[in-house]
């Protein structure tokens, strides 16, 4: 009955058009009344405490870093380098998209920001080269999924706080899975376009490639700098976010000189607005999280999943299918905040590595960004590319299937995630 009240009140509030943050508060109030424990003071204290977290300071600074990179020329130079490296091969612009997505992911950690930048810069070029606009937009949308997987990742920060799991280990564990997703997208793009006859741009000379690499060096150095600093304990993930923002600001204003002082206010304002939405959602979710614990929902869920508890792989498959279904109707951040406090006790009871589960969980939620009907990235690509939503949806389907296939390969073979992590920490 408690589970039905929580889910029913949450879905009911969303069905009448209530924003997800307020729907979470409404479901929390419904649970309080059900438990005969309604207290506005407790509600407000948990709301304030929900956003009062040092690790969550990484969110605004990674948001700011992403905004600065797009405006300050770092993103453009990354794409120019990818064009120089693989733009000349058959279907090269598709591989440019994937390569650029992997490199941009290592800079901003925001799927929406990466997808918007790639759509604005590469979609017109792909259409001009003769590629299907639907398929090109679908590839760009699917490439945006890599953003929350390759570190730094805002999704990993939020999950790490909600699940009390090492954010640094999540960052490191996400590198190989993110590259595997990129490889799967490249194979799918090759398969779909293997019979296409397109005029290929000329190969860049070694001098032009070296010039593009030299221009993008400052941008490419950032992820290496962050990962090395995290590995050797120079700074925490939160401090890494500050380093990323300051570094991006310095490079954009002093090295590339594309970010002018007059442009700073709009950049900071945009990052602040996005951050306020995320943090309000986090605070509201923490109210529900506290009540979920009080109502003993995790143990009730464990009882429901008891038939799967004896086999970790079967249990993970069941959970991944559940998250896939939820991802079609809910955005990434609320899904993480709602399901994490419910699922983590189940994962621990089954003896599954929390970092391993966290990587799978974030990948699944990231793919949810391109699953209709909600699909945040689909909306971004459709808006920036001036396309209809159903056109982008048709284009993304084969790439989305490839990403789900990679995820279930990781479910079947945990060492694809755990082995690189153990190697890095040996």
Q: Measuring CA to CA, which residue among 122, 125, 169, 177 is closest to residue 146? A: 177
Task: Note the pLDDT of residue 304.
Answer: 72
Structural domain harbouring 14: 1-38
CA pair distance 363, 357, nearest whole angstrom: 10
Is residue 300, in this structure, part of any structural domain at all?
A: yes
- How many Å apart are CA 414 and CA 424, to the nearest integer? 16
Instruction: Clarify whether residues 251 and 400 are in a common domain.
Output: yes
Q: Is 23 within a domain?
A: yes
Q: Please tell me whether residues 174 and 280 are part of one structural domain.
A: yes
Q: Are residues 62 and 17 in the same domain?
A: no
Residue 3 lies in a domain: yes
Residue 31 lies in a domain: yes
Closest CA to 364 of 149, 165, 158, 157: 149
| Same domain assignment for residues 119 and 172 | yes
Cα 122–81–156 angle (5° rounding)? 75
Q: Is 261 exposed, middle or buried (0-12, 13-18, 19+ CB in 10 A)?
A: exposed
Calpha distance 68→64 (Å, rounded)? 6
- In this structure, the answer to whether residues 3 and 78 fall within a common structural domain is no
Residue 48 within any structural domain of the chain:
no
For 166-200, the pLDDT digits (tens) are 888 898 899 899 999 999 999 999 888 776 666 66
210 and 340 assigned to the same domain:
yes
In a domain? residue 44 = no
Closest by Cα among 125, 109, 121 to 67:
109
**pLDDT number for residue 358:** 94
293 occurs within a structural domain: yes
Burial of 42 (C-beta count, 10 Å sphere; 0-12/13-18/19+): middle
Mark whether 220 and 187 lie in a shared domain: yes
73 part of a folded domain: yes
Q: Which residues contact 302 (CB under 8 A, 6 or more apart)?
A: 309, 345, 346, 349
Q: Give the predicted TM-score (pTM) of the model.
A: 0.81
Contact criterion met (CB below 8 Å) for 269 and 310: no
pLDDT of residue 305: 73
Whether 33 and 58 share a structural domain: no
For the chain, residues with pLDDT lower than 50 are none
Residues 14 and 72 in one domain: no
pLDDT at 360: 95
Shared domain for 6 and 102, answered yes or no, is: no
Same domain flag for 22 and 75 = no
Q: Domain count of the chain?
A: 2
Tell me, yes or no, whether 8 and 88 share the same domain: no
Q: Whole-angstrom distance between the N-terminal and C-terminal Cα of the chain?
A: 47
Q: What angle do CA 105, 334, 48 make, to 5 degrees?
A: 105
Q: For residue 339, what are its two tokens?
A: 């399901």
């Amino acid at each position: 009955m408690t589970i039905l009240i929580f889910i029913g009140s949450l879905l009911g509030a969303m069905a009448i058009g209530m924003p997800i943050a307020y729907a979470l508060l409404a479901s929390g109030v419904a649970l309080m009344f059900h438990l005969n424990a309604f207290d506005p003071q407790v509600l407000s204290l948990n709301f304030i405490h929900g956003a009062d977290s040092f690790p969550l300071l990484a969110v605004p600074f990674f948001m700011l870093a992403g905004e600065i990179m797009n405006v300050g020329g770092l993103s453009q130079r990354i794409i120019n380098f990818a064009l120089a490296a693989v733009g000349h091969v058959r279907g090269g612009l598709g591989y440019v998209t994937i390569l650029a997505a992997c490199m941009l992911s290592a800079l901003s950690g925001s799927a929406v920001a990466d997808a918007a930048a790639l759509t604005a810069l590469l979609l017109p070029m792909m259409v001009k080269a003769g590629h299907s606009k639907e398929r090109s937009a679908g590839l760009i949308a699917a490439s945006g999924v890599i953003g929350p997987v390759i570190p730094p990742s805002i999704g990993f920060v939020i999950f790490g706080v909600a699940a009390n799991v090492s954010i640094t280990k999540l960052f490191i564990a996400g590198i190989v899975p993110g590259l595997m997703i990129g490889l799967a997208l490249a194979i799918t793009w090759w398969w779909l376009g293997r019979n296409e006859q397109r005029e290929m741009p000329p190969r860049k000379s070694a001098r032009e490639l070296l010039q593009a690499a030299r221009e993008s060096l400052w941008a490419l150095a950032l992820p290496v700098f962050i990962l090395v600093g995290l590995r050797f304990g120079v700074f925490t993930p939160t401090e890494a976010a500050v380093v990323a923002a300051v570094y991006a600001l310095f490079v954009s204003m002093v090295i590339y000189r594309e970010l002018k002082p007059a442009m700073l206010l709009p950049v900071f304002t945009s990052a602040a607005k996005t951050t306020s939405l995320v943090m309000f959602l986090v605070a509201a979710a923490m109210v529900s999280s506290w009540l979920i614990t009080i109502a003993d929902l995790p143990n009730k869920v464990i009882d429901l999943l008891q038939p799967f508890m004896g086999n970790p792989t079967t249990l993970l498959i069941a959970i991944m299918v559940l998250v896939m279904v939820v991802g079609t109707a809910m955005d990434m951040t609320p899904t993480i905040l709602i399901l994490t406090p419910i699922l983590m006790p189940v994962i621990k009871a089954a003896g599954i590595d929390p970092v391993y589960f966290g990587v799978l969980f974030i990948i699944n939620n990231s793919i949810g960004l391109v699953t209709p009907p909600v699909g945040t990235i689909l909306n971004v690509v459709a808006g920036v590319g001036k396309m209809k939503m159903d056109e982008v949806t048709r284009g993304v389907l084969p790439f989305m299937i490839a990403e789900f296939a990679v995820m279930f390969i990781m479910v079947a073979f945990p060492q694809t995630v755990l082995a690189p992590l153990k190697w890095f920490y040996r």
